[in-house]
């Protein structure tokens, strides 16, 4: 099929597919999927994975269930391309586990899968069960309606993303890498952000390094009525105060430079000039103060450390022998975690406080936006999305893309949904939900992007277009 015929096929499938039926089916599937409580820990993803596998079998797929531990499971299914594929596979990735939710805080039960007011409610609706259903529905439509693709499409629904990946992506790459080996990997990490007048489509090409650090302060226990100059909790408080006052140097990494340059055309003077020349270090003293006050960029230009857990003592009249604190650190992607920990210990400056880390990952690998997949997704957003810009993005959060990038795959993070700040705040928050309209739009974005990957004319230059057509 020549490129003109391919484009014609994409355009005319809009009238052949019953999108109302597709979105209703997606909402019902997601509702049932949410009802499997896959809170991690402990995860218990197996029943949810079996539900998805059964759905795929009824659609004439042959899914594999790969168990990594008791009641921990991953699902893999492959849609074959044409008889002789000319390109390596594309991997669609979503995770089945979710973070905890306290039902007392929610308007609807977090594991009820309620469909109400045009939304599917429940933990995982956005992160990340909604994306899994979007991928599953798009894969089904590709099988039913799409001309032969020049590459296989693999769908992976994995366990254990919210904790470590040691029962999911990391485990699979260690034990079954051939099942999920691909050129491109599509993950969460970026999203369509609806602003007042336009949209910002953030496609993640890198992420900050995530460290969970435990501080343990040791001291002399005793009765609380006696003055104690070796109080473990006092030591810990002083250490946390020093860390709070720690000024982290700001600098621009390559992914942030790419973001700024992509945003430059839409900025007023002098930001337009500063963004466009963000790769010039001589201009950084002018640029960095503006970025530090920007809610999008403030956490993307330096390392961050936040206190997340604090414990010590079991009685009001007893000075304990130890006190503990857990810190969440997010490092710039090219930072050396070992050197960062050395600096952190120096800031604390107390030999009676031990510093431990759950994992010491290597510096992160970034993915270039100058790639066939990035252009395919960009063009789809330009044809289906609200007016706005498509930019490469450094995500401050951790995703399983980090494992796939280290394994040599080109990983991109984009949740094909258009959300405002209120909806974004529901991720890991209260009353998480996704609109049925976003499910439908996300399925179309995935469906058409994967078709465009087979277009040999995709990489040919086109006239510059700063704005995109209205969202349908």
Residue 384 CB partners (closer than 8 Å, separation 6+): 441, 444, 445, 448, 469, 471, 472
Q: What is the pLDDT of residue 227?
A: 87
Q: What is the pLDDT of residue 4?
A: 39
pLDDT per residue over 128-151, tens digit each?
999 999 999 999 999 999 778 999
Peptide bond into 128 cis (omega under 30): yes
Q: Pull the structure tokens for residue 126.
A: 């956005």
Q: In what order do the strands lie in the sheet with 115-116?
A: 115-116, 119-121, 433-435
Q: What is the pLDDT of residue 82?
A: 81
Give me the tens of pLDDT residue by residue for the chain, a chain 472 residues long. Answer: 444 344 435 545 555 899 999 999 999 999 999 999 999 999 999 999 999 999 999 999 999 999 999 999 999 999 999 877 789 999 999 999 999 999 999 999 999 999 999 999 999 999 999 999 999 999 999 999 977 899 999 999 999 999 999 999 999 999 999 999 999 999 999 999 998 888 999 999 999 999 999 999 999 998 888 888 899 999 999 999 999 999 999 999 999 999 999 999 999 999 999 999 999 999 999 999 999 988 889 999 999 999 999 999 899 999 999 999 999 999 999 999 999 999 999 999 999 999 999 888 888 899 999 999 999 999 999 999 888 999 999 999 899 999 999 999 999 999 999 999 999 999 999 999 999 999 999 999 999 999 999 887 777 665 544 444 434 4
Count CA within 13 A, CB hemisphere, residue 317: 1
Q: Determine the Cα–Cα distance for residues 137 and 130; give it in Å rounded to an integer.
A: 11
Q: Pull the structure tokens for residue 40.
A: 């991690």
Q: What is the pLDDT of residue 362?
A: 82
- DSSP bridge pairs for 204: 393, 413
Domain ranges of the chain: 3-194+390-452, 209-357
- Which residue from 270, 250, 49 is spatially nearest to 167, judged by alpha carbons? 49
Q: Determine the Cα–Cα distance for residues 210 and 217; give it in Å rounded to an integer.
A: 23
Tell me which fold the domain 3-194+390-452 belongs to: Aminopeptidase (3.40.630)
Residue 212 CB partners (closer than 8 Å, separation 6+): 326, 327, 328, 329, 357, 358, 359
Count CA within 13 A, CB hemisphere, residue 99: 11
Q: Is the dihedral of CA 257, 285, 329, 202 positive or negative?
A: negative
Question: CA 185, 421, 273: angle at the middle one, nearest 5?
Answer: 75
Residue 415 CB partners (closer than 8 Å, separation 6+): 126, 128, 130, 131, 188, 189, 190, 191, 192, 442
Peptide bond into 131 cis (omega under 30): no
> Which CATH architecture fits 209-357?
2-Layer Sandwich (3.30)
Q: Pull the structure tokens for residue 53.
A: 């596998």
Q: Determine the Cα–Cα distance for residues 197 and 194; give it in Å rounded to an integer.
A: 8
Q: Pull the structure tokens for residue 182.
A: 């691909």
Task: Map the chain to HEC letters.
Answer: CCHHHHHHHHHHHHHHCCHHHHHHHHHHHHHHHHCCCCECCCCCCHHHHHHHHHHHHHCCCCCEEEEEECCEEEEEEEECCCCCCCCCCEEEEEECCECCCCHHHCCCCCCCCCEECCEEECCCCCCCHHHHHHHHHHHHHHHHHCCCCCCCEEEEEECCCCCCCCCCHHHHHHHCHHHHCCCEEEEEEEEEEECCCCEEEEEEEEECEEEEEEEEEECCCEECCCCCCCCHHHHHHHHHHHHHCCCCCCCCCHHHHHHHHHHHHHCCCCHHHHHHCCCCHHHHHHHHHHHHCCCCCCCCCCCEEEEEEEECCCCCCEECCEEEEEEEEEECCCCCHHHHHHHHHHHHCCCCEEEEECCCCCCCCCCCCCCHHHHHHHHHHHHHCCCEEEEEEEECCCCCHHHHHHCCCEEEEEEEEEECHHHHCCCCCCCCEEEHHHHHHHHHHHHHHHHHCCCCCCCCCCCCCCCCCCCC
């Amino acid at each position: 099929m020549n490129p003109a015929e391919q484009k014609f096929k994409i355009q005319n499938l809009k009238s052949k597919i019953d999108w109302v039926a597709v979105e209703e089916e997606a909402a019902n599937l997601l509702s049932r999927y949410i009802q499997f409580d896959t809170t991690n820990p402990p995860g218990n993803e197996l029943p949810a994975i079996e539900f998805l596998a059964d759905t795929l079998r009824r659609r004439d797929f042959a899914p594999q269930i790969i168990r990594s531990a008791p009641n921990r499971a991953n699902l893999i299914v492959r849609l074959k391309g044409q008889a002789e594929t000319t390109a390596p596979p594309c991997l669609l990735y979503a995770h089945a586990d979710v973070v905890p939710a306290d039902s007392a805080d929610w308007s609807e039960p977090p594991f009820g899968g309620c469909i109400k007011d045009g939304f599917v409610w429940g933990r995982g609706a956005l992160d990340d069960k909604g994306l899994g259903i979007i991928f599953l529905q798009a894969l089904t439509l590709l099988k039913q309606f799409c001309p032969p693709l020049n590459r296989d499409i693999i769908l992976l629904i994995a366990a254990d993303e919210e904790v470590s990946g040691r029962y999911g992506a990391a485990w699979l790459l260690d034990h079954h890498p051939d099942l999920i080996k691909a050129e491109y990997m599509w993950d969460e990490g970026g999203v369509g952000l609806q602003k007042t007048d336009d949209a910002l489509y953030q496609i993640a090409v890198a992420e900050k390094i995530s460290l969970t650090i435990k501080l343990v302060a040791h001291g002399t226990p005793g009765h609380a009525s006696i003055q104690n100059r070796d109080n473990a909790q006092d030591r810990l408080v002083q250490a946390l105060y020093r860390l709070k006052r720690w000024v982290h140097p700001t600098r621009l990494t390559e992914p942030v430079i790419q973001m700024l340059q992509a945003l430059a055309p839409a900025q007023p003077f002098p930001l337009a000039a500063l963004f466009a020349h963000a790769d010039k270090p001589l201009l950084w003293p002018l640029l960095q103060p503006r970025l530090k006050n920007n809610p999008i960029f403030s956490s993307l230009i330096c390392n961050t450390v936040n206190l997340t857990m604090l414990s010590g003592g079991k009685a009001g009249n007893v000075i304990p022998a130890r006190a503990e604190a857990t810190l969440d650190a997010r490092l710039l992607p090219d930072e050396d975690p070992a050197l960062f920990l050395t600096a952190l210990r120096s800031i604390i400056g107390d030999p009676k406080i031990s510093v431990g880390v759950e994992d010491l990952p290597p510096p992160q690998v970034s993915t270039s936006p100058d790639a066939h997949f990035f252009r395919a997704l960009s063009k789809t957003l330009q044809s289906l999305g609200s007016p706005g810009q498509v930019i490469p993005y450094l995500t401050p959060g951790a995703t399983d893309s980090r494992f796939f990038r280290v394994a040599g795959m080109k990983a991109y993070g984009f949740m094909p949904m258009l959300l405002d700040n209120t909806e974004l705040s529901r991720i890991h928050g209260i009353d998480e939900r996704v609109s049925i309209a976003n499910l439908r739009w996300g399925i179309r974005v995935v469906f058409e992007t994967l078709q465009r990957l087979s277009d040999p004319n995709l990489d040919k230059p086109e006239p510059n277009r700063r704005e995109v057509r209205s969202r349908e």
